[in-house]
Amino acid sequence: MKTWASKYDEEVSLFNYNGPELMAREFAKLNVPKDVKVIDIAAGTGALGKELKALGYTCIDALDGSEGMLEAARKKNIYRNLFQFLLGCDKKSPITYGTYDIAVSCGGIGIGHIPYSAFHDILTMVKQGGLVCWATINPKEEQEKETYNSVITELKDSGKWEAVQDPVRVEEFYKNELALFYVMKKL
Ligand SMILES: C[S@@+](CC[C@H](N)C(=O)[O-])C[C@H]1O[C@@H](n2cnc3c(N)ncnc32)[C@H](O)[C@@H]1O
């Protein structure tokens, strides 16, 4: 993982990864105050945090499972606090319940990364009335699609969150791949 971390920025710049810039653009349209407390989930080397900081958001923390990625992010002076934690494992989250106004995640949820079931844990990090926003390439496999949609629906049906807007299409998120930008409100 450390090796990936040291090469990550170089690799994604070669592969036309526009996700962080495009997601930050969609996020800005929500017009939330610039001093909201934000946690960047699967922050990686800080690509989304960098874009949000450039837009004027001042209070951003980072969480990622990889210490190597966080080390690279730390050097960029984007985040106030950085937490190494693997979502989806059985360990206790280092984040106190209801700490943040908003959780964001770019390209970090789904196959090979954070399991969809971790939306439950992510919700606990956010205050009531706060937002969970993410952009990720939609799963292609039927089984994956079903798991993804069933977690989102289950949280809706059990009154844990509601959609603030329909998912927004983000074209060319990564290479020519389309992603969807979701905004859910914790109830
Ligand atoms: C594709 S990178 C995205 C990083 C960053 N958000 C960006 O847009 O450049 C995915 C990140 O998810 C992190 N990750 C994968 N599984 C994770 C998990 N279960 N818990 C926390 N972080 C995880 C990886 O360490 C990696 O930094």
Distance 22 CA to ligand 1 centre (A): 17
Which amino acid belongs to residue 128? Q
The yes-or-no verdict on residue 1 having pLDDT over 80 is: no
Task: Say if ligand 1 is within 6 A of residue 108 CB.
Answer: yes
- In eight-state DSSP terms, residue 107 is S
The yes-or-no verdict on residue 174 having pLDDT over 80 is: yes
Q: Taking residues 134-140, what's their average pLDDT?
A: 93
Task: Say if ligand 1 is within 6 A of residue 23 CB.
Answer: no
CATH number, domain containing residue 127: 3.40.50.150
- Report the distance separating Cα 34 and Cα 26, nearest Å: 15
The yes-or-no verdict on residue 152 having pLDDT over 90 is: yes
**pLDDT tens sequence across 61-74:** 999 999 999 999 99
**pLDDT tens sequence across 97-129:** 999 999 999 999 998 899 999 999 999 999 999
The yes-or-no verdict on residue 78 having pLDDT over 80 is: yes
Query: Minimum mean pLDDT among 14-18, 74-78, 162-166, 181-185: which range?
Result: 14-18
Length of the chain: 187
The yes-or-no verdict on residue 2 having pLDDT over 70 is: no
Distance 17 CA to ligand 1 centre (A): 14
Give the chain's domain count.
1
Which atom of ligand 1 lies closest to the CA of 47? Answer: 9
Which atom of ligand 1 lies closest to the CA of 12? Answer: 9
To test ligand 1's pocket by mutation, which of 52, 113, 134, 173 has the most ligand atoms within 8 angstroms of CB? 113
What pLDDT does residue 5 have? Answer: 84
Distance 62 CA to ligand 1 centre (A): 11
- Report the distance separating Cα 145 and Cα 32, nearest Å: 30
Task: Say if ligand 1 is within 6 A of residue 39 CB.
Answer: no
Task: Say if ligand 1 is within 6 A of residue 42 CB.
Answer: yes
Distance 108 CA to ligand 1 centre (A): 4
Chain mean position to CA 165 = 17
Which range marks the domain in which residue 157 is found?
2-186
Q: Is the pTM of this model over 0.85?
A: yes
What pLDDT does residue 55 have? Answer: 98
Mean residue pLDDT of the chain comes to 95
- Report the distance separating Cα 187 and Cα 182, nearest Å: 16
**pLDDT tens sequence across 7-58:** 888 888 777 899 999 999 999 999 999 999 999 999 999 999 999 999 999 9
